[in-house]
Every structure is written in structure tokens, then in C-alpha cells.
Amino acid sequence: MQVLENISLKPYNTFGINARAKFFAELHSDNDIAAFFSSLTPERMPFLILGGGSNILFTKDFEGSVGCIRSKGIVKLMEDDSHVYLKIAAGEVWDDVVKYAVDHGWGGIENLSLIPGNAGTGPVQNIGAYGVELKDVIYSVEVADVIARHYRAFRPADCEFGYRSSIFKKKAKDRFIITGICLKLDKQPVLKLDYGDIRQELKNAGINRPSISAVRDIIIKIRSRKLPDPSILGNAGSFFMNPVISADDFARLIRQFPLMPSFRSGDEIKIPGAWLIEQCGFKGKRFGDAGVHGQQPLVLVNYGSATGAEILALAEKIIGSVNRKFGLRMEKEVNIF
């Protein structure tokens, strides 16, 4: 492992923000991760682990150590009559993992196709899309404990998974380095088709009995149509989470806004944040080089030279507008540094 100093993070975040790291290292193996783990002396703290840099916004330079995990490996640990268990290195590109599972006929993550980022950062956000969340298939999360200086595995109940949240994002975000994950996938996949446009797109394609491969292809098609490619237009995917409210609060809101869309999430109601942002007039708007995507208003974009502070200011403007109009609080999904 080579530690570099004063390195630009622009190539390492999908917003393309030109922040700098005081110390930086690429971590290509478990040995590199262990060396980085050992290098975190007080003068090199705090630390930040990057995967694909797809869910982060830098608003200033990082005055500590940044480790970019590039470790690779997908191994079948075990299987039984119903499930297969895959051990995946943290640096594996997430969509490559989904393709690997689908190509082998193992179900459970096909709805998570084309989500940017790496496998190791998936549990931090509890990534989710089209009615599926990573917590549904996690068997364990392997971590290095920076404080206790040892390695351990978290089972799902330990991870405190929530809506785009986990123990790794909240109360223990400065303690653990995720080194790998283990997924529990289905040998007899049960398809989840009732979210968004999946069924209609399958019907349009003349697919009446879809396979997991067909579902993956359809979701890639939908996401490619709606979401900008970060290699072309800087973005971090959905910048905001959908507001989740009680049924009573929704009943009051729907009387005032009868066209408000919604969908049930357990005993609560989710309101599509994209609709709220569009109703406030931000869809497709541009403020200098910071803007709101014209197809998916949950996505904020960098048209070229926007700073992280400018994108954050736009986010705060949107949050304030939605709150004033609807009395709802839009929470940021992206991690702000």
C-alpha cells in the first residue's frame, strides 16, 4: 500500500468535485486494507473509505486519510437446497455482482441492477430499488474495527438496517471499514414485479413469463432512460430519500393535495420525493453548473464546474421549498463531507 499526500478526489467521486485528501491510498487487497487500518494514527485521522464514490458530496478538502477500496473476488461459500451464499470483496463493482448472480440463475438482487457503487458501500446505505433492499439478502457484513483493532462479522440484526440507513452510516460511521459482504440468494427466484414500471415494460416487450435475466434487462432499460450516466454528467444518483409519514398524516395531506401519489411501506406511507420537487418547480432547473435533472428530480447534477457547496446550497433550497409547501422534510440520502 502506497500512501500519497494532497491528492485530488475528483476521479474518485461521481459528482466530479475537486476536493483534496491530505492522505490517500488505493486498497487492492486484504493486506492493503490491513495496512491502511494500521496506519490510522491520531495525526492521520479522521478516515474515510470510498468505494465507487457514488453516494458522496465533498464540500471541502478532507483533512485525514481516504482509502479507496479496489479489492476483488466473488466466492461461493456454501449452498443448500434453497439458497447459495456468496462472499464478495468490498471493492467489487456492485452491478458486476448482480450480473454474476443473474448469470448463475440466483435470485434476490436482480431488482438492484445498475445501482452505482461497490459491494462494500452497499450496506452503508442499505441500497434499494424497485421494492428490494440489500437487507433482504445480506447474510453477514465483514468489518475491520478501527477502535477495537480487530475484525468481526455483523449479522443482519446487528446492522440496524433502515430506509437507506444502517449502523455503518449513523452511530458507528467512523468506526468500521467494511471489507466484504456475504449474500444469501435464492436458487428458485421469486420475482418482485409490482414496483414502478416493471410489469408494464415487460408487457411492452412481450414477456409474459419473465426470468430474472429479463427483469434485470428491463430495470437496466428503465434506469438508463431515467437516470444520468455519472461518467457523462456528474451526479450521485438519488440525492434525497422519499419522505415516510404516518397514515394519519397522509390522510390530512391528501385532503389538501388530492393528486399526491403515495405507496405503502409497512404501516407507513412513502411520498415520492420526485413529485414533491417537481411540484415546487425545480425539475430541470439549473443554477450555474448545479442543477436538478430533467427526467428524475431526485437527482442533482454537476454540469461541469459546480462546487460541492453550490450543490449543497441547491439541496437546501429544495428542502426549504418542499417544507414550506407541503410541511414535509426531505432528508438527504447522499453523505456530505
Given pLDDT bands bounded at 50, 70 and 90, which one contains residue 207?
A: very high
Q: Where in the chain is the domain with CATH 3.30.43.10?
A: 4-69
Say what the pLDDT of residue 314 is: 98
Q: Are 159 and 138 in contact (CB under 8 A)?
A: yes
Instruction: Spot the catalytic one: 26, 133, 201, 333.
Output: 333
CB atoms under 10 Å from CB of 96, counted, come to 14
- What average pLDDT does the structure give for the chain? 94
Given pLDDT bands bounded at 50, 70 and 90, which one contains residue 264?
A: confident
pLDDT tens string 26-36: 999 888 988 99
Q: Is the pLDDT of residue 38 over 80?
A: yes
What architecture is domain 74-186? Answer: 2-Layer Sandwich (3.30)
Q: Is the pLDDT of residue 110 over 80?
A: yes
Say what the pLDDT of residue 9 is: 97
User: Is position 63 annotated as part of the catalytic site?
Assistant: no
Instruction: Spot the catalytic one: 65, 113, 166, 238.
Output: 238
User: Is position 286 annotated as part of the catalytic site?
Assistant: no
Q: Which residues of 284-299 are buried (b: 16+ CB within 10 A; e: fewer)?
A: ebeeeebbbbeebbbb
pLDDT tens string 290-308: 999 999 999 999 999 999 9
User: Is position 238 annotated as part of the catalytic site?
Assistant: yes
Q: Where in the chain is the domain with CATH 3.90.78.10?
A: 234-336
Q: Is the pLDDT of residue 122 over 80?
A: yes
Rounded CA-CA distance 180/71 in Å is 9
Instruction: Spot the catalytic one: 65, 133, 164, 216.
Output: 164
Q: Are 60 and 70 in contact (CB under 8 A)?
A: no
Kindly state the average pLDDT of the residues 190-213.
91
Phi, psi for residue 154 in degrees, rounded to 5? -95, 130
What architecture is domain 234-336? Answer: Alpha-Beta Complex (3.90)
Residue position matching grid coordinates 483493532: 149
CA distances from 224 to 98, 115, 116, 215 (A): 16, 11, 12, 14
**What is the CA angle 102-224-231, rounded to 5?**
100
Rounded CA-CA distance 94/124 in Å is 13
What architecture is domain 4-69? Answer: 2-Layer Sandwich (3.30)
Kindly state the average pLDDT of the residues 150-169.
93
Say what the pLDDT of residue 62 is: 97
Greatest pairwise CA separation for the chain in angstroms: 60
